[in-house]
């Protein structure tokens, strides 16, 4: 199939999806809208981690920290001065943050930029490591960010967190950012930069021997991943309208990591499909944490059982399908047509 045909079909798909968003925003109840919004936010976060881990092969466990930076930055900028004064009861918020209120879009973008700067500052020293050592180092920095947020009441309100964050939790905002992120990541993957990142992932020594400055490209991928994590954090804060340091624990990173690994390391469409499946399944599995009766036997609800299920899922993927459901392949119109042709041939 020629690229012009695929571009036309992609445009039709985007228009159809935009029509679905308009219908859903006007028709669906709040619970279903919340799930669709979470799918978009998880997609943005997972695309960022896929740049770091899937494309470049850097095992990072610091995503929740960058999401926290983006969430707090965006929230502090969009909250009204009166709401900030009512929220910061332990210590007053520092100036000039206490007296400013920005529109949502520039605040969200600045949240992503600040998160990217944090990723750059953290990445410059730790990206000289690799493998498990890199994972441990990034996890440590994510915990440092969370602990600092818990202990600077003049900036984050400490353990009490931020309340009364203005909500922009509609499908247009969240999916607009998700589609923007998807567009950027797809173009990175198709560019020379994307090819270099994949070369580093496949064989860093060979890439270095070919004259590639692997350290610079690793830092670039890590910084871009931090930017998308910051965007996801800002969207999450606006959806929840309340955030605190406990919102950004390691379990948040684990959720995003599960999405990336399940969809396929390096697969963009796999990440999107996995984000949707993970979010819906996470909501559907709430019943395992609720009390129930089976054959007359009362089984009390056990908090955290959903994470047990997803931990087992991640272990199963690592053991039996390490490349994920799609590996590094993509769902394209050509692949769909080939699959239909094979199915028609068998029948």
pLDDT the model gives residue 294: 63
Q: What is the mean pLDDT of residues 66-94?
A: 93
Instruction: Identify the domain containing residue 83 by its residue range.
Output: 3-346
Percent of the chain clearing pLDDT 70 (strictly above): 90
pLDDT the model gives residue 286: 76
Residue 25 burial (CB count, 10 A): 14
- Give the separation between CA 263 and CA 275, rounded to whole angstroms: 8
Classify residue 241 by its DSSP letter: S
- 3-class DSSP assignment, residue 37: helix
Greater confidence, 112 or 337? 112
pLDDT tens digit sequence for 276-303? 999 998 888 777 667 766 666 766 766 7
pLDDT the model gives residue 113: 98
Average pLDDT, the chain: 88
Give the C-alpha distances (Å, rounded to integers) separating 330 from 125, 266, 273, 333. Answer: 33, 9, 11, 10
pTM: 0.90
pLDDT tens digit sequence for 247-278? 999 989 989 999 999 888 888 999 999 999 99
- Give the separation between CA 189 and CA 184, rounded to whole angstroms: 9
pLDDT the model gives residue 143: 95
Q: Which of 9-13, 225-229, 288-292, 326-330 has the lowest mean pLDDT?
A: 288-292
Strand boundaries in 108-203, DSSP class E: 162-163
How many domains is the chain built from?
A: 1
pLDDT tens digit sequence for 307-323? 787 778 878 877 887 77
Greater confidence, 337 or 199? 199
pLDDT the model gives residue 259: 92
Does 2 score more than 60 pLDDT? Answer: no
CATH code assigned at 19: 1.10.3470
């Amino acid at each position: 199939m020629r690229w012009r045909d695929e571009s036309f079909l992609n445009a039709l798909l985007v228009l159809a999806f935009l029509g679905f968003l308009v219908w859903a925003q006007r028709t669906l109840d709040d619970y279903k809208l919340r799930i669709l919004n979470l799918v978009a936010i998880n997609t943005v976060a997972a695309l960022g981690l896929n740049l770091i881990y899937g494309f470049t092969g850097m095992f990072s466990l610091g995503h929740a920290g960058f999401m926290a930076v983006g969430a707090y930055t965006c929230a502090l900028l969009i909250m009204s001065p009166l709401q900030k004064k009512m929220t910061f009861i332990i210590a007053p918020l520092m100036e000039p943050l206490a007296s400013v209120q920005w529109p949502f879009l520039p605040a969200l973008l600045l949240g992503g930029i600040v998160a990217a700067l944090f990723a750059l500052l953290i990445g410059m020293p730790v990206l000289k490591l690799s493998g498990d050592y890199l994972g441990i180092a990034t996890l440590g920095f994510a915990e440092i960010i969370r602990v600092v947020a818990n202990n600077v009441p003049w900036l984050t309100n400490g353990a009490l967190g931020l309340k009364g964050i203005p909500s922009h939790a509609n499908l247009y905002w969240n999916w607009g950012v998700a589609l923007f992120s998807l567009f950027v990541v797809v173009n990175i993957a198709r560019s020379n930069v994307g090819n270099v990142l994949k070369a580093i992932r496949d064989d860093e020594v060979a890439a270095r021997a070919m004259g590639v400055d692997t350290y610079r490209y690793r830092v670039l991928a890590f910084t871009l991943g931090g930017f998308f994590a910051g965007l996801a954090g800002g969207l999450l804060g606006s959806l929840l309208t309340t955030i605190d340091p406990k919102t950004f624990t390691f379990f948040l990173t684990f959720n995003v990591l599960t999405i990336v690994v399940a969809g396929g390391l390096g697969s963009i469409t796999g990440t999107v499909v996995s984000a949707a499946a993970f979010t819906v399944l996470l909501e559907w599995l709430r019943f395992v944490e609720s009390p129930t009766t089976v054959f007359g036997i009362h089984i009390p609800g056990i908090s955290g059982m959903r994470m047990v299920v997803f931990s087992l899922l991640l272990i199963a993927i690592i053991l039996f399908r390490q490349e994920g459901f799609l590996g590094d392949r993509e769902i394209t119109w050509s692949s769909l047509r080939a699959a239909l042709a094979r199915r028609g041939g068998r029948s």
